[in-house]
Amino acid sequence: MNRMPIGQYIPGDSLIHHLDARVKLIAFILLISTIILTDSVPGYCSLMVLTAGLLFVSKVKLKTALGFIQSLFLFLMVIFVMNTLFFDSAQPICSWWIFHISLGGMAQGANVVLRVIFLMIFSSVLMATTAPMEAAFALKSLLRPLQYIRIPTEDLAIMISVAVQFIPVLMEETEMIRKAQTARGAKFESARLREKAASVMPLVIPIFLGAFRRADELSLAMEARGYRGGKNRTQNKQKPLRKQDILALLTAAAVCFIQAYAF
Partner 1 sequence: MTNVKKSIFTAVCMALCVVLPMAFHSVQNAGSIFLPIHIPVLLCGLLCGWSFGLACGIIGPVLSSLFTGMPPIAYLPSMLVELAAYGLITGIIMSNVHTKRIYADLYISLIGAMLAGRVVAGIAKALIFSPGHITMAAWVTSYFVTSLPGIIIQIVLIPSIVFALERAKLIPVRYPQISRNQ
The span from the CA of 10 to the CA of 128, in Å, is 5
Q: Are 134 and 11 in contact (CB under 8 A)?
A: no
The answer to the question of residue 163 lying near partner 1 (CB under 8 A) is yes
Nearest distance from C-beta of residue 121 to partner 1, angstroms: 10
Region 44-73 residues binding partner 1, contact defined as CB under 8 A:
68, 71-72
The span from the CA of 252 to the CA of 241, in Å, is 15
Question: Contact with partner 1 (CB under 8 A): which of 45, 81, 93, 197?
Answer: 197
Number of H helices, E strands in the chain: 10, 2
The answer to the question of residue 29 lying near partner 1 (CB under 8 A) is no
Nearest distance from C-beta of residue 110 to partner 1, angstroms: 14
Nearest distance from C-beta of residue 57 to partner 1, angstroms: 21
The span from the CA of 257 to the CA of 263, in Å, is 10
Beta-bridged to residue 74, according to DSSP, are: none
The answer to the question of residue 142 lying near partner 1 (CB under 8 A) is no
Listed ranges 14-22, 42-50, 110-118, 235-243: which one lies at the site for partner 1 (CB under 8 A): 110-118
54 Cβ contact partners less than 8 Å away, ≥ 6 residues apart: 16, 122, 125
The answer to the question of residue 13 lying near partner 1 (CB under 8 A) is no
Q: How many residues bind partner 1 (CB under 8 A)?
A: 59
The span from the CA of 116 to the CA of 110, in Å, is 10
Q: Which of 58, 70, 5 is nearest to 31 (CA)?
A: 58
Please give the residue ranges that form the binding site for partner 1 (CB under 8 A): 1, 4-7, 32, 68, 71-72, 75, 112, 115-116, 119-120, 123, 127, 155-156, 158-160, 162-164, 166-167, 170-171, 174, 178, 188-189, 191, 193, 196-197, 199-201, 203-205, 207-209, 211-216, 218-219, 222-223, 227-229
